[in-house]
Amino acid sequence: MEFTAFAEQIRSGRPAKFPANANTLEFAQQLDAQDSLGHLRDEFIIPTKGSLKKKSLNGTLPDKQTLNGHANGVNGTNGANGSLEDDETPSVYFCGNSLGVPPKAVKEYIHAQLETWASIGVNGHFQGLDNSPLVCWQDMAEDVAKKSAHIVGALPEEVVMMNTLTANLHFLMASFYRPTEKKHKIILEWRPFPSDHKYAIESQVQWHGLDPAKSMVQIQPDENFYISTDLILKTIDEHAEETALILLPGIQYYSGQLFDMARITEYAQSKGIVVGWDLAHAAGNVELRLHDWNVDFAAWCTYKYQNAGPGSMAGAFVHERHGKVDTSQGKPKFRHRLTGWYGGDKSVRFNMDNNFLPTVGAGGFQVSNPSAIDLASLSGALSVFSKTNMTELRTKSLVLTAYAEHLLDTILATTAATGEPPFRVLTPRNAHERGAQLSVLLKDGLLERVTEKFVEAGIVCDKRKPGVIRVAPVPLYCTLQDVWKFMDVLGKAIA
């Protein structure tokens, strides 16, 4: 099977060698027919070309059968463009790096939560209903943590689902960023998402009475927006004596570069530096081994590649060595952290005796009661991951991005005679240095035209001014045909 052959080539570090007919829709259809994960697409509600035009609620979802058999059709419009058939065509949704599409299970799980609340009220804290997909509310955070552990390569007790990403970064830095007069610096990369840099890290530095200009070390990329592992290790060497923490993204949100987390973690820790990872663009996207890599802490959101909904509850990882609770001497001893009643062990959580005994593991970093509705949404989203694993998803993702890269190269080849290339790809060519995202920097003046053509064609793709489109075919619900259609529209838009 060609799909398997391509996957094996890429997994082994070799570039995929696509045949001469690879730039045809028939070739994409052939590969899709060989995709062992293709059935997972039917677990999701994917916007249609018609539903993207929706202006008001009318009680419909794009979740019925379309003419091509995929579970996507009715879109809640009245065929405003004159073609109901065209309106029922699934969109090409390449924006899962910003917000994933809803799994069908999310609606089921939220309805179960609302029925439980309406039926038994406060008793839902400790009592579940027999045929519900959900556990009782008090156990929900622990339940979704267990379901999330394999996604990030952690032990169940090393994961906690709480808050949102930036809040979790603050809570984790409150415990792990402990600057001294000598060791006070934080090493970060050049263009972190604002919540990680300008707001969270900078404010943590200022909270300790330090000057961000002196305590923040930013690693700058080369002219191709690439940050080599060697440069990161060199920066660690230069600042090791003064560095308290290194906090980097697993995947850089702008360029799509995947960092060598295992090597960087080991090297920084050998220099006595605490290591944290922001996995906003990595969790649910690439294979992670947080426990095996000995990572100190990590945080991630769940609305991108895990599809739990806008602003959904985030995750945090604390290595088991930092989550221990020693009660051998009577009064419990544990790692310093900001504490709250919900981080208390369930056996004493409702005792109200003001003697704090934290839950062992990452759960002991919880502060307050998590939203059961948010947890229901997350639990529904995670149910899809029980039907596959990160190795399978990563394998399909490698094929999707390799095919996208091949078609981008084909477009460049056909426009070579026109002079300046219409775009360049910022994301590393090495498949093992990227996730599902390819960042494409368009020539000046092209973004508006490309965006207009995408809207007309029912394509959803993230753009970053002045000229970057972040193309993300997510393996859970995107297809090789989606990739072909996207590139066909892009090629015509820039011709």
Q: Contact 250/277 with Cβ under 8 angstroms?
A: yes
Is 326 labelled as part of a ligand binding site?
no
Is 196 labelled as part of a ligand binding site?
yes
Is 322 labelled as part of a ligand binding site?
no
The tokens for 250 are 């697993």
**Residue type present at position 120:** I
Is 193 labelled as part of a ligand binding site?
yes
Is 93 labelled as part of a ligand binding site?
no
Is 208 labelled as part of a ligand binding site?
no
**Residue 17 CB contacts under 8 Å (≥ 6 apart), including other chains:** 9
Is 86 labelled as part of a ligand binding site?
no
The tokens for 6 are 């391509």
Residue 186 to residues 127, 208, 216, 279, Cα–Cα distance (Å): 45, 13, 5, 17
In angstroms, the CA 226 to CA 223 distance is: 7
Is 195 labelled as part of a ligand binding site?
yes
Q: Contact 282/73 with Cβ under 8 angstroms?
A: no
Q: Contact 13/7 with Cβ under 8 angstroms?
A: no
Is 388 labelled as part of a ligand binding site?
no
Is 426 labelled as part of a ligand binding site?
no
Strand partners, 186: 216, 245
Is 72 labelled as part of a ligand binding site?
no
Measured CA angle at 53 (ends 384, 446), to 5 deg: 95
Give the residue ranges of the annotated binding site.
165-166, 193-196, 278, 281, 303, 341, 369
Per the annotation, where are the binding residues for pyridoxal 5'-phosphate?
A: 165-166, 193-196, 278, 281, 303, 341, 369
